[in-house]
Amino acid sequence: MIPETAPKEDVYVASAKFSKNALVPSFEKYKEMYMKSIENPDEFWGDIAKDFFWKSKHSGDFLSYNFDVTKGEIFVKFMEGATTNICYNLLDRNVHEKNLGNKVAFYWEGNEPGDELTVTYRELLQKVCQFANVLKSQGVKKGDRVSIYMPMAVELVVAMLACVRIGAVHSIVFAGFSAESLCERIMDSECSLLITADGFYRGDKLINLKLLADDALQKCKDKGFTVRKCIMLKHLSKEIEEGSQSPPAKRSCPDLQQEGQTGRVKKRRPVPQLPWNPEVDLCWHTLVKGASDECEPEWCDSEDPLFILYTSGSTGKPKGVLHTVSGYMLYAATTFKLVFDYQPDDVYWCTADIGWITGHSYITYGPLANGATSVLFEGLPTYPDVGRMWEIVDKYHVTKFYTAPTAIRLLMKYGTEPVQKHKRDSLKVLGTVGEPINPEAWQWYYNVVGEKRCPIVDTFWQTETGGHVLTPLPAATPMKPGSATFPFFGVVPAVLNESGEELEGPSEGYLVFKQPWPGIMRTVYGNQQRFETTYFKKFPGYYVTGDGCRRDKDGYYWITGRIDDMLNVSGHLLSTAEVESALVEHEFVAEAAVVGRPHPVKGESLYCFVTLTEGVSFCRTLEVELRNLVREKIGAIATPDYIQNAPGLPKTRSGKIMRRVLRKIANGERELGDISTLADSSVVEQLFQNRSCTA
């Protein structure tokens, strides 16, 4: 439970000046609100809901649920029967009721410094309505799934909100995923339409998105699934017109040749050749040109599906996490507001990609629900130089800044000079997400970036939780570097031992949650069974996060990392099984086992052991082929760091691979603990000898 009083020793606190005007100004206030949120959730969330627009009120229970698999199906229902539309709440409500039409919704900053766009709430509403009409004209209806595979362009937000406006369910696939991964996600969610872009640059590297999208659609077709239409945004159009070395391909997007569409990417660069299939492909710009900018929203039930977002699963097959309308909206909005202590004159910047849950909740839904102004950044923290982040902070006078520990560690490597070259005096709150932040990185973030002035909110949450679940509130919670501190409103954590008993006081074990909060996922799309097995079966009555945690004497929660077969590489979850199945697709690989190895920037890196088929010998060419294979099957984020030849793997007599032993070998640690259950312990020595020469 939350302590009576906040600890005073070994903690960092916000200044009195900051706390004075904060939304939750003290620990006492946090505690009071927290107690209300768990004892009387109806009233707590009911009060928050009053600020939103409801077409009709809810009927029946405000919140009903079952978390206990022994008592029947797992479900969570929040404000069932109420009808609303999130797009209406994010845009129309802000433009028409709150008079924020002229307020900037996004400052878009491209990969290349100087590429920029400003979009107000009114403009965003118009663009979304137009595109919603486009989707309707293409036959997209309420409940239909639409796949989105786009760079960080304003149109990505437009596409997602256009879906929401007409009640369609978006499934955004991070543009760093491979064609194969896109195909898998399109097929699992049975999307009828794909929205993509011609391409984009990540630093100097061209990502030819349309080619990847085409490849994915072909793969779907080969597997018997047809996507009706593919809408392509001309994101690099300017370059295509001006920079193309060769004439446009014969079968290229018709509009690229006809109009002088203003692209926003100014720098001239080589451009992709765009294949064009007139039966499937449609040009975003042509479609939008004739579309009306008025579109009545589709009124949806609170528990109608809102979006699907895939996250790695320990079986190797990604899970389509499904979120629904009202609970997610209120939770994303409230966490954003209170965790970042949102003030109307803030300029907020979350550096995540919208293709991940952080971007969904804290670039699109949370900030727009509050009428906030955000920076939407397409580029990289190190391009064109390592001062880019701070340059942008100064350019837009960013007040609230949210990034990942991996980005902080990366920038730390370059020292303080690139940071101190920029003023950063607008910054007020700093946030982190995605993985545990090591105290050294925390201190650097606090001392160097925030100059000891800015509280740090270390937000623990998951794709499944929809929003922050353990987090400090900047003015209220004394901070301990590396701890996500206490639960957000409505969240009741517990620490369990292996037998499922709740541990009291200082303890370490499984992090679970005892009751739902509005933003929790509702199911795995198309697979309720998997939802129940993954999150509720191990400890009936609890939502199991899959993370280990420690609670200290002051009641602070410290995440100790995943306790399932998942790896966290640069804040992105990957399943070992997913990478292993990619590796064994190579004809020369008989078996593969993948473990995590600590990495100074990425947090964890992928260390792969491969057993080759009889007669094949390990060589550099094979290593390169395997790396490329994993990139092709999953995407660049899953590129193995180490690949080691493993003539044998350490297995128990029943054939189970002892990953604990492999982790030690990967790390070069000779202290292996008890290995008496190994069927053949001689493989261990051999593996030490074969350790990847780069390891």
Q: Of 166 and 357, which has the nearer Cβ to ligand PRX?
A: 357
CB of 343 to ligand PRX, least distance (A): 23
Q: Round the CA-based radius of gyration of the chain to a whole number and report it.
A: 25
Q: Which two tokens stand for residue 594?
A: 């993948």
512 binds ligand PRX (CB under 6 A): no
Q: Quick one: 508 exposed, middle or buried, by C-beta within 10 A (0-12, 13-18, 19+)?
A: middle
Report how far residue 400's alpha carbon sits from residue 21's, in angstroms, rounded to the nearest whole number.
15
358 binds ligand PRX (CB under 6 A): yes
The owner of tokens 């009291």 is: 504
**Part of the chain binding ligand PRX (CB under 6 A), chosen from 43-51, 383-391, 455-463, 594-602:** 455-463
Whether 521 contacts 322, CB under 8 Å:
yes
CB of 493 to ligand PRX, least distance (A): 13
Among 25, 318, 379, 434, interactor with ligand PRX by CB under 6 A: 434
The owner of tokens 């008993």 is: 501
**Part of the chain binding ligand PRX (CB under 6 A), chosen from 105-113, 434-442, 514-522, 624-632:** 434-442
Containing 164, the helix (H) or strand (E) segment is: helix 154-165
Q: Of 436 and 478, which has the nearer Cβ to ligand PRX?
A: 436
Q: Of 461 and 542, which has the nearer Cβ to ligand PRX?
A: 461
Among 261, 273, 420, 462, interactor with ligand PRX by CB under 6 A: 462
**Part of the chain binding ligand PRX (CB under 6 A), chosen from 122-130, 264-272, 417-425, 433-441:** 433-441
3-state secondary structure of 264: coil
3-state secondary structure of 105: strand
CB of 72 to ligand PRX, least distance (A): 27
CB of 311 to ligand PRX, least distance (A): 5
In DSSP terms, which residues pair with 589 in a beta bridge?
612
**Part of the chain binding ligand PRX (CB under 6 A), chosen from 299-307, 448-456, 540-548, 659-667:** 540-548
562 binds ligand PRX (CB under 6 A): yes
Count residues binding ligand PRX (CB under 6 A).
Answer: 22
In single-letter form, the type of residue at position 427 comes to: L
**Part of the chain binding ligand PRX (CB under 6 A), chosen from 298-306, 431-439, 611-619, 623-631:** 431-439
CB of 512 to ligand PRX, least distance (A): 12
Q: Which pairs count as long-range contacts for 565-568, CB under 8 Å and 24+ apart, including other chains?
A: 565/314, 565/659, 566/312, 566/314, 567/594, 567/595, 567/596, 567/604, 567/606, 568/434, 568/435, 568/596, 568/603, 568/604
436 binds ligand PRX (CB under 6 A): yes
In DSSP terms, which residues pair with 197 in a beta bridge?
233
Q: Which two tokens stand for residue 295?
A: 């579109």
181 binds ligand PRX (CB under 6 A): no
In single-letter form, the type of residue at position 336 comes to: F
**Part of the chain binding ligand PRX (CB under 6 A), chosen from 125-133, 193-201, 299-307, 429-437:** 429-437
Q: Of 198 and 547, which has the nearer Cβ to ligand PRX?
A: 547
**Part of the chain binding ligand PRX (CB under 6 A), chosen from 114-122, 337-345, 565-573, 591-599:** 565-573
Residues 299-328, interacting with ligand PRX (CB under 6 A): 311
Q: Of 461 and 609, which has the nearer Cβ to ligand PRX?
A: 461
Q: Is the dihedral of CA 66, 568, 381, 633 positive or negative?
A: negative
Report how far residue 419's alpha carbon sits from residue 417's, in angstroms, rounded to the nearest whole number.
5
Q: Of 310 and 489, which has the nearer Cβ to ligand PRX?
A: 310
Among 545, 605, 644, 692, interactor with ligand PRX by CB under 6 A: 545
CB of 23 to ligand PRX, least distance (A): 21
Report how far residue 519's alpha carbon sits from residue 637's, in angstroms, rounded to the nearest whole number.
27
Q: Of 301 and 435, which has the nearer Cβ to ligand PRX?
A: 435
Q: Quick one: 665 exposed, middle or buried, by C-beta within 10 A (0-12, 13-18, 19+)?
A: buried
Q: Of 546 and 640, which has the nearer Cβ to ligand PRX?
A: 546
- Pairing type for strands 229-233 and 281-283 reads parallel
The values of phi and psi at residue 435, to 5°, are -170, 165
Whether 491 contacts 357, CB under 8 Å:
no
Q: Of 379 and 434, which has the nearer Cβ to ligand PRX?
A: 434
Please, what's the b/e burial string for 545-579 (b: 16 or more CB within 10 A of its CB; e: otherwise)?
A: bbbbbbbeebbbbbbebbebbbbbbbbbbbbbbbb
The values of phi and psi at residue 457, to 5°, are -100, 110
**Part of the chain binding ligand PRX (CB under 6 A), chosen from 78-86, 374-382, 539-547, 673-681:** 539-547
Q: Which two tokens stand for residue 492?
A: 């009741």
DSSP 573-622: EEEHHHHHHHHTTSTTEEEEEEEEEEETTTEEEEEEEEEEPTT----HHH
Residues 361-400, interacting with ligand PRX (CB under 6 A): none
Q: Of 30 and 461, which has the nearer Cβ to ligand PRX?
A: 461
Write the CA distances from 260 to 195, 240, 247, 349, integer angstroms: 22, 11, 16, 32
CB of 614 to ligand PRX, least distance (A): 39
**Secondary structure letter of residue 91 according to DSSP:** I
Among 171, 335, 568, 570, interactor with ligand PRX by CB under 6 A: 568
CB of 268 to ligand PRX, least distance (A): 36
Q: Which two tokens stand for residue 667?
A: 């790390």
Q: Of 272 and 493, which has the nearer Cβ to ligand PRX?
A: 493
Among 411, 484, 491, 630, interactor with ligand PRX by CB under 6 A: 484
Q: Which two tokens stand for residue 192?
A: 């009828």
Q: Of 44 and 557, which has the nearer Cβ to ligand PRX?
A: 557
485 binds ligand PRX (CB under 6 A): no
DSSP 362-392: IIIIHHHHTT-EEEEE-S-TTSS-TTHHHHH
Among 177, 200, 461, 609, interactor with ligand PRX by CB under 6 A: 461
Q: Of 282 and 407, which has the nearer Cβ to ligand PRX?
A: 407
**Part of the chain binding ligand PRX (CB under 6 A), chosen from 90-98, 214-222, 409-417, 545-553:** 545-553
Q: Which two tokens stand for residue 514?
A: 């005892």
Among 109, 180, 378, 458, interactor with ligand PRX by CB under 6 A: 458
**Part of the chain binding ligand PRX (CB under 6 A), chosen from 165-173, 227-235, 387-395, 427-435:** 427-435
433 binds ligand PRX (CB under 6 A): yes
Instruction: Lay out the sheet containing 543-551: strands in order across.
Output: 493-496, 507-513, 543-551, 557-562
Q: Of 334 and 358, which has the nearer Cβ to ligand PRX?
A: 358
435 binds ligand PRX (CB under 6 A): yes
Among 442, 460, 525, 539, interactor with ligand PRX by CB under 6 A: 460
CB of 458 to ligand PRX, least distance (A): 5
Note the residues at the interface with ligand PRX (CB under 6 A): 311, 357-358, 433-436, 458-463, 484, 545-547, 559, 562, 568, 572-573
